[in-house]
Amino acid sequence: MKLEVGNFQVKSVIFGSQTSFNNGVLTINKEEALEVVYEDERIISADIVIARPGDSTRITPVKEAVEPRYKVSGGVLFPGVTNKLMQVGSGRTHALKGTSVLAVGKHWGGFQDGLIDMSGPGSKQTMFSELLNICLVADTNEDFEKNEQQKKNEALRWGAMRLAEYLGSCVKDLEPEDMDVYHHHPLDEQTEEIQNLPGVVYVLQLQSQMLDTGYNAMVYGWDVSRMLPTFMSPNELLDGAVVSGSFMPASSKISTYQHVNNLVLKQLMNEHGETINFLGVIVSNLNTQLDEKERAALQVQNLATLLGAQGAIISEEGYGNPDIDFILTYNNLENAGIKVVGITNECTGNDGKSQPLVDLSEKANAIVSTGNVSEHLKLGPMEKVIGELEAVARDGNSGGWAESIKEDGSIEIENNGMFCADSATGNHFKTVVEY
């Protein structure tokens, strides 16, 4: 399986009469772009606003991030979701790098929606402050969801995916500036030299705690809560087979943008044939019932063992209840003789002194922390707000509370509410210092 991703580096985004890309400038015909958004009759109000790195701009409630892309070799983006079901992971995809489409609520937010600051201390919490963000700010006619803490946000998330594909289409016939090429060969085609290297699998634990469909992450359009752990080619993930869900405190979320730009996955592919034999990805889930957790951990162990893995990296999307899945899987793999490194965030309280994970194990002795969700942040006012600042305090943002917003526009918020601040895919610039 060979995947080519042709890159076009976006240096500026402006509005104009024709959607096009030229000399690093992405021009958007706003009227035409919004027609793509309004294809969903649930969306009753929409606008597109540009947020640039360094701007005195605060964006909230942010629901999803999608990289503008277009499949140029006859395939599709987001299979089983906004397009027909078919395999991805091969052929050529063109990507507008350095930019993302953000789905932002015009009014209503919720537990799973986050905040992005484009400058100041808050910008250090999330990688999206470094991107040119094309903000789809919209509202829907779904009155039943306005007062729900948990929102599916389907209309806005799907709208962001359609808009990202529309924008990506402007480079479908252009020659990319550079190309990333990803090879993943069947295991029986590996050379003897590669087979002699330590076999490593990547275990991606996706959020699936909601019993009702529409909230959880999806693989080829299938709700992750309804699947057993599955072995996949890394190329499939890097080409859009996984779509982010709408359940998870915002800082722990893995956005769709991050799934196709998963840096842990890319680094494993870079090491393939050099230091390791990267076998592929085991996509797992994070469940609510103990028997489901045990079953998933057992299946991950079985797949890793059958593949001949000697090492594994686990990325957990979330914390709290999912920590049990994380530790069960960690233990099972270690008990099978497979050495594990885990990647997760922590919930250690405002003072950092609480137990970091709900479940612990002596076997889990190699963990990369991506941050403390309870870290208390005080962020000054911004000149511009995209979306609605009141949503942080009013609608149950996982890091906000009733007094979060001050009269001058400054806020107090836990890291919990910062969009994708602690994602376990390597797409951030935080570091950990051991004292």
Residue-wise pLDDT for 185-244, tens only, equals 998 898 999 999 999 999 999 999 988 889 999 999 999 999 999 999 999 999 999 999
Secondary structure of residue 290 in the 3-state scheme: helix
User: How confident is the model at residue 429, as a pLDDT?
Assistant: 66
- 61 prior amide bond cis, ω within 30: yes
User: How confident is the model at residue 434, as a pLDDT?
Assistant: 62
User: How confident is the model at residue 430, as a pLDDT?
Assistant: 67
Cα–Cα distance measured from residue 133 to residue 68, given in angstroms and rounded to the nearest whole number: 11
- Collect the ranges in the chain with pLDDT lower than 70: 429-435
Cα–Cα distance measured from residue 97 to residue 6, given in angstroms and rounded to the nearest whole number: 10
pLDDT, tens digit, for every residue of 114-165?
999 999 999 999 999 999 999 999 999 998 888 888 899 999 999 999 999 9
Q: Which has the closest alpha carbon to 408: 372, 382, 378? A: 382
**Are residues 182 and 5 in contact, defined by beta-carbon separation less than 8 angstroms?**
yes
Residues 6+ apart with CB under 8 A from 86: 75, 76, 79
Secondary structure of residue 345 in the 3-state scheme: strand
Secondary structure of residue 190 in the 3-state scheme: coil
Cα–Cα distance measured from residue 75 to residue 259, given in angstroms and rounded to the nearest whole number: 18
Question: What's the chain's length in residues?
Answer: 435
Q: Phi, psi (5° rounding) for residue 166?
A: -60, -45
Q: At what angle do helices 154-168 and 30-37 cross, to 10 degrees?
A: 140
Q: Which has the closest alpha carbon to 104: 137, 134, 133? A: 137
**Are residues 229 and 299 in contact, defined by beta-carbon separation less than 8 angstroms?**
yes
Residues 6+ apart with CB under 8 A from 414: 350, 373, 374, 375, 376, 377, 398, 399, 400
Residues 6+ apart with CB under 8 A from 205: 284, 285, 286, 314, 315, 316, 317, 322, 325, 326, 329
